[in-house]
Structure 1
Amino acid sequence: MTTFYFVRHGKTELNVLNSFQGGGIDSPLLPEGIQQAGKLGQHLSTIVFEAVAVSTQKRAMDTATFILAENLNLDGLSVNYHDGLRELGFGDKEGMVVDFDSQQTQYLRTRPDLYDPSGFSGETYDELIQRLIPIIDRLEAKHPEGNVLVVAHGVVLIVLINYMIGKEKSDWRTNGPLENTSLTILNKKDEAWRLETFNDISYQ
């Protein structure tokens, strides 16, 4: 069975500023974020990954680079970058300080089934899932018995994880947000995805 190692990128400047940092904007890793990624790399240094799938946004690519720099089993490793793993798009709100009092922001954070970003040209949760699942399905099919590292973003990963373990759309943000450089491990048991590790930062 495929075992997925899901990792959120390291802490960035926009994370500290509580700004919308979606699929249309990037912010460099802070020194803390680089250190976090290196520590996670050390924690995973003996894991043999068959493949690595990374968002094409720089904060995720840099995080993956620092993780893999610590790995002891890189011979023949395939690293691929996917636009489909980019963060949820926040449209006109990209880079703005998060407006916590907005109803749509509350829906964004707690009720994906009610979230409607059309007023600011954002991406819907259904659109997000439609681009994520084909990537996961291809990785599972290509590496049915291997370990696959996926480095992406906070909303992307909490939604993907909850979707994979069978939660309804209204609960796709349950137990979020994920910590920066947190590790979540999923594998299958009786044809259902199960959490082995969730939002783990104990290695820090």
Structure 2
Amino acid sequence: MSIKKVYLIRHGQTDYNVQCIVQGSGVDSQLNDEGQRQANLFFQHYKHIPFDKVYTSMLQRSIQSVQGFLDLGIPHETYDGLNEINWGTREGTRITPEEDAYYHNILQTWCDGETHVCIEGGESPDLVAARQVSVIETILSRPEEETILICMHGRAMRILLCQLLKYPLRCMDQFEHQNLCLYQLDYTGSMFTVKSYCDTAHLHIQKSPDQTIPDPHEQIR
């Protein structure tokens, strides 16, 4: 079997990212101007890659992030299994200091190994992992797709990386992410290896200093 190459990216920036508003699977936000710029930079840097298929979540911010490749006519499939975690009652709300404390408590609970615990009104990492299984099986069952692009969301991407690399879910925060970052993985037929980790080199082309917006809550959206 030839090596399957997987290019896994997080969606580009949205206004919700900038405003520190929680967006999970229940918020179908669009890319803002910076997110569109990030998507275009990624496309310009990787448009020469002969992708056989593009996989995205059902949410428009992930689809918009790969629109350049779709415009080339590359086949595209959407799966709700790739959607972001559902953040429950906090979807669409601004993060206050009290909210921030609650999130960090939940994140610590998960890091302590209690990945079955759901956020209030939402999902647990275990539930997200369970809905990703069928997507993983579909992708691995298609050896003819030698090079694929997957666009999804930060927390769900961390969970997916744990599954692909055989890490326990409590280790998911070891996988950093930023808007439009890239993880490149190779699959040999028996295991995945990481060739590129949270790569954002493509975003620094023609980037102005005033376009960098710090986001202390990046890990939870």
TM-based fold match above 0.5: yes
Greater CA deviation, 44-53 or 181-190? 181-190
**1:141 and 2:146 equivalent?**
no
Instruction: Show the 5 A alignment for 1:44-193.
Output: 44-69=46-71, 74=72, 77-98=74-95, 99-102=99-102, 104-108=103-107, 111=111, 113-115=113-115, 116-117=117-118, 120-143=120-143, 146-176=146-176, 178-189=177-188, 191-193=190-192
Change (3 A) 1:6 1:192: same
- Once residues 68 and 145 of structure 1 are traced to their aligned partners in structure 2, the CA distance between those partners, rounded to angstroms, is 16
CA contact (8 A) 2:4 2:188 kept: no
Q: Give how far 1:168 is off.
A: 1.5
Q: Give how far 1:189 is off.
A: 4.4
Identity %: 24
> 1:29 is matched by which residue type in structure 2?
L
Q: Give how far 1:17 is off.
A: 1.5
- Once residues 168 and 125 of structure 1 are traced to their aligned partners in structure 2, the CA distance between those partners, rounded to angstroms, is 11
For residues 164-193 of structure 1, give each alpha carbon's deviation from its aligned partner in whole angstroms, at most 9, with x where no partner exists.
Answer: 1121121022132x1101111111247221
CA contact (8 A) 2:182 2:198 kept: yes
How many residue pairs get aligned? The number is 196
CA contact (8 A) 1:9 1:152 kept: yes
CA contact (8 A) 2:8 2:184 kept: yes
Higher strand share: 1
> 2:24 is matched by which residue type in structure 1?
G
3-state secondary structure, aligned to 2:197:
strand
CA contact (8 A) 1:23 1:90 kept: yes
TM-score by structure 1 length? 0.88
> 1:174 is matched by which residue type in structure 2?
Q
- Once residues 185 and 58 of structure 1 are traced to their aligned partners in structure 2, the CA distance between those partners, rounded to angstroms, is 22
3-state secondary structure, aligned to 2:39:
helix
What stretches of structure 2 of length at least 5 have no aligned partner?
A: 204-221
CA contact (8 A) 1:37 1:67 kept: no
> 2:11 is matched by which residue type in structure 1?
H
> 1:159 is matched by which residue type in structure 2?
I
What stretches of structure 1 of length at least 5 have no aligned partner?
A: none
- Once residues 175 and 49 of structure 1 are traced to their aligned partners in structure 2, the CA distance between those partners, rounded to angstroms, is 24
- Once residues 45 and 26 of structure 1 are traced to their aligned partners in structure 2, the CA distance between those partners, rounded to angstroms, is 26
